[in-house]
Structure 1
C-alpha cells in the first residue's frame, strides 16, 4: 500500500509541475484551435519532430481524420519521434508511454497479451480472441501477439481505451491499438540505421521512398534483427529468448486525381527463434513461496516432515534436478532437459489495399486485406531438467490463421453540416488450422509414481530407483488387501508412461463475421455535439478436431480401477493413479476420434456521447458504450470431460460418441461490457491536459487459467445473492462414496441472480508541456480499480466457478496494477550555429503491486517497480545523421511478466497419499521473466 500511495503521489506531483509550468508560460504563443475535421493531407503532413501537444496530433479513431483534442474519446496518440526515442520496435515498448496499457508475452511470442485499464485476455489458447484488438494500417490482426513483430517505419500509434463497439473493424471489449505506418512520398528520400548492443544485439533497418511517375509513389522498408538470448541453457550449451527476425514492407501509393487515393501494402515477417524459457519462483523473489522449494528431511519418514519442505522437490532432485534451480533468483540460468529445445519459427505475410475516394460531399473508404500467419513452437514445457512434458521440434505444434477482411465506409455531411454521418460494413472470413503434439516425457512415469508414493502413508516404500517408485512391490500390494494386485499392476502401467501422449491433435475452425455500423456526429450548436453509434454483428464459428494418441495405459487403468472408486478406502489410490495416467485427457481412447460443433451469435453494440466546448481550448464529454468480444471454442482436449468427473471418461468404450457428447464443454460464451465515461481535454499550443473517469462492467468475462495440470477456460459472472463462501472453497464436486455420482455441492447461483463478474473503474490523466521549442515533458497516471465481483459464478447459467479460481472473488485482476505512472522528457538543443543538435531523452513507468497469475495465488504476486529508458545523442543538420547511445531498463529492474503453476509439479495429493497439513497439495511455481538491462549505440542517416 505504501508503494501504491508513493506512486500516486509521484504522478500527482508530475501533473502539478506540468500545470504550474504551463501557467508560468502563459505568455507563450497559443496555437489556434483547429476544426474538428481536417483533411487527410494534414495526417500525411505531420512532421516527426512536431511538438506533441494534442492540438498538433491528428488521429483517425472515429473513422475520420480529427484533431486529437477534439475527439471525445479516451485515446493516447504516440508519434514517430516518441516511438523512436523510446526504442519501440514492437507494441511492448508502448508500455512506457501509455499508462493504461500493458503488453506481456509468456510461453510463446505468438501469445502476446495487451491489457487496457487492467482488462485483457490471458494465456496461450488461440481459441480466445484478444480483448484489445490490434489493427495495422486499418487491417485486423487475428491475435494480438502478431503485433509483437517488428513494425518498420511508423507514423503513429493510437491507443483507444475502453470498449470499441462501433468502429475499428473488429469488435473489442477493452480497447484498440491502431498502428499506422509511414506511407509513400512523392519526394525522394531514404533512411537507414545500424544498432549494436549487449547480448550481441544487431539491428539493421532501412527504407527508401519516392515517385515512380507523376501519380505513383513507392516505399520499401526492411528490418533485420539478431541477438543472443538472455536465458542461459547450460545443459544444451545455448541461450533462449534470442532474436533472429526479418521484416519487409513494400507500398505503392496511386493518386490519379486529388479525389482518389489508393494505397497497396505488402509485408512479410520471418522469425527463427528460441522462446520462451522460465525459472522457478524462489523465496527471494516472493516470500509467499515459504518452504515450497525446500526438500523434506526424508521422504521415507512420511508426511510428518511435510511442514518442513515439499516432497515434490525430493522427487525432482532424485530424478536429476539440481536443487540450485529452486534458488536462482533472477540469474536467468534455466533448467532444460538435455536434447529438448524451445525452437520456434514464424512466418506472417499479407496484402492490403485501401481506396479513399471523395465523390464531392461523400467519401468512400474501402480496406481489403488478406493475412497468412504461421507459427510452430517446440518446448520443454515442464520448465525443468526432469523430462516430464514436452512439445517436439517437428513442426506439429503449430497454428495458422488465414484471414480475409473487407471494410467499407461512407461518410459525409448533411443538413448544412449539422450532421457528420458515417455508415459502413465489415466482413471477416478466418480459417484456423492448428496442431498439438504435447507428450509426456521420458521420465514422466517414474515422476508420476514417485509423486504418488512420496506424498503420504506409503512414503516408507519410496524408492525412485525401482519400478513403480516402491522398494517392495509386495509390500505395496499388501497395503490394499485383495485389491492389491490390480492396484499394483496399474501403478506399474503408470510407471511405464514414458514418451507417450499426442501423436498429433488437429484443431480446425472456420469463422465468419459480418457487421453493419453507423457513427454520426450531430452538431447541435457550434459548441455542443451528440455522437450516436450503433453496430450489429453476426458471428458463426464451425469447429472440428481429430485426436491422435498412443497412451494406452490411461484406458487400461480406468478399466482396472474404476470399480474401486465406489469403495471409500480405495477411492484415493484409484483416483490418483487414474488421474496421473490420463492427465489432460491424454489417452489412446481418443486416438482417431473426431468431434465437431458450431456456434452462432449476434450482438448489438454502440455508443452515445455528448460533448461540449465551453471555450475553444476545452472539450468536456460524457459517454456510454457497449462492447463485445465473440465467444468460441477452447482448443484444448483437456476440457473434454463432464464437470463431475476428475479424469477422462468417454462413454464405456464408445469414445467417439462419448467425446462428441462432451464437445459442449469446449464452448465459452461471448464477453460483453457496459461502459460509462466522463472526461475533458484541454489543449493550447504549449500545454495539454486530458482526464477521464470510467466505469466498465464485464459480463461473461473470458478467463483462461492453467491450474498446473490443464487449461481452464471459464466465463466469469457475479451473483447478487450470497454464496456462503461457496465460490471460495474446493467443495465443488462430491467425492464420496462415488466420484461418478458427484454433483455440484456449493457455489451455484440461480440464473435470475447472475450479473456482471468484473468491474473496472478509475481515473486517467495525461499531460504534455512544451515550454520552449526544444523541450517537451509528458506525464500520465492511471488509477484503475479492476476487480472481480464478490460471489462469483461461471457462465450466465449460474454454474459454480471452477475450484481452481477460488482466490478470485473480490480481488484485483491479474496484471492489473491499481496505480501506474508514466513520464518522459526530451530535450533537443542546438549546438552552436553549426546546425548540430543534441538529444537527451528519458522515460519511466512506475507501477504498483499486482498479481501475475490469472488464479491470483499469492505466490504469483509482484511488488511494484519502476522502469527507466534513456537515450542521448548528437544529430547533424536537419537530422541527416545521428549517433545515439541508449539503454532500456537502465537500472536493471528484475521482475516477472507472468508466474504460473509448474506443470504437474505438485506435492502430496489425496487419501493414502495425502499431506494432512496441505490438503490442496504443495504446488511449486515458475515464472517468465522480463528482459534485463540492454544498452547499445545506434547510427542513423537519412536524405
Structure 2
C-alpha cells in the first residue's frame, strides 16, 4: 500500500480524535442526532455504521431533496463511483474505484454488479432510468464475490424500491417543470385489498425534455433530449406473521435522441503540412466541417440524428419464511426481457459516409435460495444462485452514398483516378470487352456482426459473522461459481447488387511513399494495373491473345465493387465466423476482522476477491486481435474506520484500499471500432472519506472525497495514439514496431490510465434548515463537485487530456406540513461549466478528435404532494 495513502488516512483519523478531545472539554455542547441508515449490504438489515464494508447509502428522501433523478446525478454523492455515457444514453459505463465496463460491447459482463430489489440486472442500461419511489440506493465498493447474485470484481449497486404496506395509502404525486422544456410526472399509491393480508402498490413516471444541443440540419434543442417512462406494480401477500410474498412487475422505456458529440481537434493539416480530411471534405464533398473552436456552441452537424431506444420489463417474486425466530428462508425468482437499439452517425459529418447501429435482445432468468441464521454471537447467510440468459446482438455498419467519393478522393487523395480512368478508357475502346472500373465503396452496402450468447451460471455461497469477543467479530465467506457460455459470432456483408464481399487487398500503404508499395496492397495492385493499361494501349498486348487474357486479370480487382473495403477499416473487412464454448469455475470469498470498542466506533480490515467470466468480442475487429478474452478477477485489501461522535453531530467514515485486477477486460475505441482485449494486470490504490457533520441543529456539512490511483500494470495490446502523431509528429511511446512503414496496430499501454478516471474527486455540501412559520419550514443547500483531470480517450492520447472540472448545484425546498406538500427549486451545474466529456478519434479521419457533451446548466421546480 502506498505510504502516502496510509499516512493520509492516519492523519485524518488522528485529526478527528484531536478535535473531539478538545470538544469534549466543552460540557455545554448540544447533542445533535445523527441519522441511522439501514442497509442490506450483507443480505440482512443492519445499521450502516455496523457494517465492515465501504458502502454508501442514499435514501429516497435525499434523492428527492437533492434532485437526484438517476445514476448520473448520484455519482457526485458517492466517493469512488464514476458514470458516463459514450455513444448512446442506453450504453452507460459504470465503474467503482476505477474499474468498470463499457457497455458498448454485448460480449462483456459488468464489473459492477447491478441489482434492483434483489434481482441481478445483467445489462448496465437497465439501471439508467429515473429513480422514482425508491427507498434506498446502496453502493458497495470492493469485490462482491460472496453474497450477491453474480460474482463481480469491483462492487455492487443495489436499488431498493418502496414496498407495499398494509397500513394506509402511503402515496405521493410529483410534478417537475424546468428549462429545455422539462416536464416530469410521477406518482405512487398503496391499496389494501385484504386488511393485513394483501396490498398493492402502483408506481408510474414519465419524463420529457427537449435536447440541450442544436443540429445544423435538424433544428434547435434536438440532441440529448429526455423521453422516459415506466410503470411498476407490486403485490404484498402476508398470509401469516411468518410468511410474506412480494411480487413486482415493471416496464420501462426510453426513446431518446442521444448522444451528441463534436470536434475538439480538427485535422486540416498534419505536423508536416500535408492536408487532412477536414481540408478536403468541403472542397471534394461540398460539406462543411465543424470547427473545434466552436465546440461550446453546442451545435452538431450530422447526416441523421442519433437514436437511443430501450424497452426493459420483468417480473420477480420474493418469498420470506421465518421458520423460527433465528432462521429465515428466502427465495427470489425473476425473469427479465430487455431490448435496445442504438444508432449513431459514425463520421460526425453532414456528408453521408458511414453510420453504425446496434440491437441487443436479452432474456434472463434468475433463482436465488437463501437461509439466514441469526443469534446474538453468530450470523450465517448461505444458499444457491442460478442465472441463465440468452443474448442476441446485431451490429450494423451502413455505408452512405458519398462513401465512394470520400474514399477515393479524400482518403486516397485521388491517387488511383488515373488507373481507374485508364480502365474505363479501355472499356470504351474495346466495346465493353474489358469491364469498366467498379465503385471502390458502393453506397448501400451493409456490414453485420451477429452475436449469440447462451449462458448458464450456478453458484453456492455462504458467509458468517462470529463474535470472538464483545468487541471483535470475524467475518468469512466463500462462493463457488460454475459457468458455461456458448457463443456464436456470424459476420456478413450485404451489397445492393448481391455480389460477394471481395478479398483482394490487405494493406493500403502510404500513397506518397513508393517504398510502401508491397504485394497485396492497393498501391501494388494499382502499379501492376497501370503497367497493364500502358501495354494494352501501346499495342504490346493484343486482344484475343493468351497474353491479353492473362493481363486483364490484373485489372479485375478494380473492376469488382467494394474493392477498398478490406483495407479501409476493420469494421468493413472480411472476417471468418466464430464459435466458442467457454467453461469456467471459480472460488472467491472474503475475510474480515472488525473491532467495535463501543457503539459509535468500528475498525475493520478485509481481504476480498471477485471474478467475472470471459467471452468473445461481439464487434467486428482487426484480425490481429484475439476475439476470445479471458475471465477477469480481482483481489482487494481494505482497512477502514466508521466513527460517530454523537455529542457533536459528527460522522467520519474512512477507507484505504488496494486492488489488483488480473486480465482486466479493456474495451478501447481506436477510430475504426472497439478492440476488446485482456489488459493483463491493473492496479488500483486509494483513499475514501465520507464526513457528515451537524454544525448546529439546523446546519449540516457533508464532504465526500476519493483518491483513486489506477493504472495498467501490463497492457501489451492496448490502443495506439492516433491524434497526437498526426498533429505534432510525436510517436506513441508504446509503439513496439521499429519499422515506421509497418507499425503495429496495438501499443503497450503499461502505466496508462483508464478512460475518464480522475485521480481525485470530491463533493462539499452545506445545508441549512430554517423555519418560515409554524407550519412551514425550508431547507437550502449548495454543493460543489470536483473532478480531477483525466484522459477523455481510452488510448491516453495527450490531446484528449481533460482539465479538472467543478460543478455547482443548489436547491431550496419549502415544506408545508399542514398540506403534506413540498416545493423544491433546484439548479444543476448552475455556473454552466464548459468542459468536454468522453472523447474518441473520429472514424476514418486520422488526426481528428471528437468529444461528447456534458449537461449544461439546468433549472427546475418540483412539487411533491404526499398522501397518508
TM-score, normalisation: structure 1: 0.77
Counterparts of 1:335 and 1:564 in 2: how far apart (Å)? 31
**Displacement, 1:501?**
2.2
| Contact kept in structure 2, 1:794 and 1:800, CA below 8 Å | no
**Displacement, 1:624?**
0.5
Query: Deviation digits for residues 301-350 of structure 1, max 9, x if unmatched?
Result: xxxx852464221222222332444432221100101xx23233321111
* 1:438 corresponding residue in structure 2: 397
Residue 356 (structure 1) aligned with residue 320 (structure 2): yes
* 1:328 corresponding residue in structure 2: 294
**Displacement, 1:561?**
7.7
TM-score, normalisation: structure 2: 0.84
* 2:125 corresponding residue in structure 1: 145
* 2:345 corresponding residue in structure 1: 380
* 1:344 corresponding residue in structure 2: 308
| Contact kept in structure 2, 1:540 and 1:600, CA below 8 Å | yes
| Contact kept in structure 1, 2:501 and 2:574, CA below 8 Å | no
* 1:42 corresponding residue in structure 2: none
Report the CA distance shift for 1:563/1:516 in structure 2 as closer, same or farther (over 3 A): closer
Residue 842 (structure 1) aligned with residue 782 (structure 2): yes
Counterparts of 2:380 and 2:419 in 1: how far apart (Å)? 81
User: Superposed, which structure 2 residues align to 1:756-767 within 5 Å?
Assistant: 757-767=681-691
Match of 2:461 among 492, 504, 517: 517
* 1:933 corresponding residue in structure 2: 857
* 1:128 corresponding residue in structure 2: 108
Counterparts of 1:879 and 1:65 in 2: how far apart (Å)? 33
* 1:914 corresponding residue in structure 2: none
* 1:549 corresponding residue in structure 2: 493
Residue 620 (structure 1) aligned with residue 615 (structure 2): no
User: Superposed, which structure 2 residues align to 1:623-638 within 5 Å?
Assistant: 623-638=606-621
* 1:199 corresponding residue in structure 2: 180
SS at match of 1:164: coil
| Contact kept in structure 2, 1:807 and 1:857, CA below 8 Å | no
Report the CA distance shift for 1:181/1:568 in structure 2 as closer, same or farther (over 3 A): closer
| Contact kept in structure 1, 2:767 and 2:782, CA below 8 Å | yes
SS at match of 1:378: strand
**Displacement, 1:123?**
5.1
Residue 255 (structure 1) aligned with residue 238 (structure 2): yes
Match of 1:66 among 24, 29, 46: 46
| Contact kept in structure 2, 1:356 and 1:363, CA below 8 Å | yes
* 1:890 corresponding residue in structure 2: 830
| Contact kept in structure 2, 1:130 and 1:143, CA below 8 Å | yes
Residue 667 (structure 1) aligned with residue 637 (structure 2): no
**Displacement, 1:177?**
0.6
User: Superposed, which structure 2 residues align to 1:714-753 within 5 Å?
Assistant: 714-717=677-680
Unmatched 5+ stretches in structure 2: 426-433, 527-562, 720-734, 738-742
SS at match of 2:621: helix
SS at match of 1:513: strand
Counterparts of 1:676 and 1:476 in 2: how far apart (Å)? 68
* 2:504 corresponding residue in structure 1: 559
Report the CA distance shift for 1:16/1:97 in structure 2 as closer, same or farther (over 3 A): farther
* 1:189 corresponding residue in structure 2: 170
Residue 680 (structure 1) aligned with residue 638 (structure 2): no
**Displacement, 1:258?**
2.4
| Contact kept in structure 1, 2:39 and 2:48, CA below 8 Å | yes
Deviates more, 1:56-65 or 1:573-582: 573-582
Residue 280 (structure 1) aligned with residue 246 (structure 2): no
* 2:665 corresponding residue in structure 1: 702
| Contact kept in structure 1, 2:254 and 2:309, CA below 8 Å | yes
Query: Deviation digits for residues 868-913 of structure 1, max 9, x if unmatched?
Result: 211113210167112221111111112222101111111xxxxxxx
Counterparts of 1:322 and 1:490 in 2: how far apart (Å)? 36
* 2:431 corresponding residue in structure 1: none
SS at match of 1:130: coil
Higher normalized helix content (fraction of residues): 1
* 2:428 corresponding residue in structure 1: none
Counterparts of 1:18 and 1:774 in 2: how far apart (Å)? 24
Counterparts of 1:433 and 1:560 in 2: how far apart (Å)? 31
| Contact kept in structure 2, 1:634 and 1:713, CA below 8 Å | yes
| Contact kept in structure 2, 1:905 and 1:924, CA below 8 Å | yes
SS at match of 2:749: coil
* 1:737 corresponding residue in structure 2: none
Residue 570 (structure 1) aligned with residue 518 (structure 2): yes
Match of 2:151 among 138, 154, 171: 171
Query: Deviation digits for residues 354-399 of structure 1, max 9, x if unmatched?
Result: 111111121111111111111122221222212221147xxxx311
Residue 693 (structure 1) aligned with residue 674 (structure 2): no
Query: Deviation digits for residues 595-628 of structure 1, max 9, x if unmatched?
Result: 4321111111000001111233111111111111
Counterparts of 1:548 and 1:106 in 2: how far apart (Å)? 26
Query: Deviation digits for residues 154-205 of structure 1, max 9, x if unmatched?
Result: 1111110111110111111111111111111222232111111111110111
Report how many residues are paired.
783
| Contact kept in structure 1, 2:570 and 2:672, CA below 8 Å | no
Report the CA distance shift for 1:853/1:878 in structure 2 as closer, same or farther (over 3 A): farther
* 2:708 corresponding residue in structure 1: 784
* 2:444 corresponding residue in structure 1: 499
Counterparts of 2:831 and 2:509 in 1: how far apart (Å)? 59
Report the CA distance shift for 1:330/1:15 in structure 2 as closer, same or farther (over 3 A): farther
Counterparts of 1:18 and 1:868 in 2: how far apart (Å)? 31
* 1:295 corresponding residue in structure 2: 268
Counterparts of 2:172 and 2:709 in 1: how far apart (Å)? 44
Counterparts of 1:490 and 1:558 in 2: how far apart (Å)? 19
**Displacement, 1:495?**
3.2
Residue 863 (structure 1) aligned with residue 803 (structure 2): yes
**Displacement, 1:231?**
1.6
| Contact kept in structure 2, 1:673 and 1:696, CA below 8 Å | yes
SS at match of 1:104: strand
Report the CA distance shift for 1:21/1:85 in structure 2 as closer, same or farther (over 3 A): farther
| Contact kept in structure 2, 1:90 and 1:151, CA below 8 Å | yes
Match of 2:364 among 397, 403, 411: 403
* 2:532 corresponding residue in structure 1: none
Report the CA distance shift for 1:168/1:310 in structure 2 as closer, same or farther (over 3 A): farther
| Contact kept in structure 2, 1:852 and 1:861, CA below 8 Å | yes
* 1:916 corresponding residue in structure 2: none
Report the CA distance shift for 1:689/1:399 in structure 2 as closer, same or farther (over 3 A): same
**Displacement, 1:92?**
1.0
Counterparts of 1:272 and 1:52 in 2: how far apart (Å)? 42
**Displacement, 1:134?**
1.1
Unmatched 5+ stretches in structure 1: 32-50, 283-292, 297-304, 455-460, 463-467, 479-488, 644-664, 718-756, 907-922
Report the CA distance shift for 1:72/1:17 in structure 2 as closer, same or farther (over 3 A): closer
Query: Deviation digits for residues 609-649 of structure 1, max 9, x if unmatched?
Result: 0111123311111111111111112111335x255xxxxxx
**Displacement, 1:527?**
0.7
Deviates more, 1:81-90 or 1:383-392: 383-392
* 1:423 corresponding residue in structure 2: 382
**Displacement, 1:295?**
2.4
Counterparts of 1:23 and 1:766 in 2: how far apart (Å)? 22
Counterparts of 2:698 and 2:472 in 1: how far apart (Å)? 36
Residue 235 (structure 1) aligned with residue 194 (structure 2): no
**Displacement, 1:476?**
11
**Displacement, 1:780?**
1.1
CA RMSD of aligned residues (A): 3.4
Counterparts of 1:586 and 1:115 in 2: how far apart (Å)? 27
SS at match of 2:62: helix
